[in-house]
Amino acid sequence: MAVFVAVVETGSLAAAGRKLGHSPATVTRAVAMLEERLGERLLHRSTRALRLTERGEHQVSVYRSVLAELAEAEGGDAADAGITGRITLTAPELFGRAILMPVVETFLDEHPGVSVRVLLLNRVVSLVEEGVDVAVRLAPLSASGLVAAKLGEMRRLLCAAPSYLARSNMPSTPDALHHHCCIGTEEGTERELWHFIDRAAGRDRPLSTGIRPRIALNSAGAAIDAALRGNGICRVMAYQVIAHIEAGRLVPLLRDFEPAPVPIHLIFHPIPRRNAALRAFVDHATPKLRAAVAQVSASAARSVGA
């Protein structure tokens, strides 16, 4: 089981062997033994990469849980030993820096025997394939075997600097964005679809506008910086710009067409009974993250409007 988990985490049989001090043949035999016992393939193998099968995704989660419980059992149950272990977390970069990291730091203050690895990545991370214990996900969730704790919702805002609006007409409808310099955040795309809600006639109607960004970036932080310098209109989450809006450095636009807020969840695999470090983190982080999200929402309501 440990060999298979190492193969998944390192991405190759050879790398797993180097990590564990085993020969490639030993690693190959270990994976083959698991597949023979289950009667199913766990990995799709090619000359360039390994990819988990559907059964493999399930089994690596099971194996991690078993190994965690074994490690905990071997560590003993002394009451005065405190909680120990290592947790891997992931979140979008700006959310992680502004909201998650302060919670991580208070958790580590309370549990000096625990260490944390934090991956701040602006992409969807596979908890199974990348060895992640807990993730913050800002998006609607698809069906999965993961546990999800809802932290709240976050508004998506359109913003521009006063200097940009001083030389350009303020857009009154989403279609007017075609005549503006828009700053995109979807890497590698020449066209982005920006979603809105048309609240005319007393009912909400979804509305989408295709945008050709004048500046296309792969970073929300860089997009906000460009907007602050007066280079165009950016579309970002409220927590990323609320301080700039409150200070008057950015102005929210098209408030009557604001889309539905984005749900935020803390997601994780079912926690093994003896994985005390992970359970302690989830118990510590969930209420604090909910409070932080609620604080941003309240600030946005005051500065932008309900």
Q: Which residues contact 45 (CB under 8 A, 6 or more apart)?
A: none
pLDDT for 166: 95
In CATH, what number does 156-260 get?
Answer: 3.40.190.290
Q: What is the pLDDT of residues 167-186, one digit of tens each?
A: 998 999 999 999 999 999 88
SS3 content of the chain, % helix, strand, coil (to 5): 45, 25, 30
Which residue type sits at 300? A
Q: Where are the domains of the chain?
A: 1-76, 82-152+267-306, 156-260
CA end-to-end distance (rounded Å), the chain: 52
- 267 within 8 A of 126, measured Cβ to Cβ: no
pLDDT for 74: 63
pLDDT, tens digit only, all 306 positions of the chain: 889 988 888 888 888 888 888 888 888 889 998 988 888 888 887 766 788 888 888 788 778 777 777 766 665 544 445 788 889 999 999 999 999 999 999 999 999 999 999 999 888 888 877 888 999 999 888 767 788 999 999 999 999 999 999 999 899 999 999 999 999 988 767 889 999 998 876 778 889 999 999 999 988 999 999 999 999 999 999 999 999 999 999 999 999 999 999 999 999 888 776 688 999 999 999 999 999 999 999 999 998 887
* CA-derived radius of gyration, the chain: 23
pLDDT for 78: 42
Structural class in CATH, domain 82-152+267-306: alpha beta
- 3 within 8 A of 27, measured Cβ to Cβ: yes
Q: What is the rounded CA–CA span in Å between residue 212 and residue 119?
A: 31
User: Which architecture does CATH list for 1-76?
Assistant: Orthogonal Bundle (1.10)
Q: What is the rounded CA–CA span in Å between residue 255 and residue 109?
A: 41
- Among residues 192, 233, 194, which one has the least CA distance to residue 212? 192
- 164 within 8 A of 233, measured Cβ to Cβ: yes
User: Residue 119: in which H helix or E strand, if any?
Assistant: strand 114-120
pLDDT for 71: 67
pLDDT for 60: 81
Q: What is the rounded CA–CA span in Å between residue 184 and residue 266?
A: 27
Q: What is the rounded CA–CA span in Å between residue 42 and residue 56?
A: 4
Q: Which residues contact 207 (CB under 8 A, 6 or more apart)?
A: 174, 195, 196, 197, 198, 257
Tell how many helices (H) and how many strands (E) occur in the chain: 10, 14
Q: What is the rounded CA–CA span in Å between residue 56 and residue 250?
A: 48
pTM (two decimals): 0.73
- 297 within 8 A of 92, measured Cβ to Cβ: no
Check for a shared fold between 82-152+267-306 and 156-260.
Answer: yes
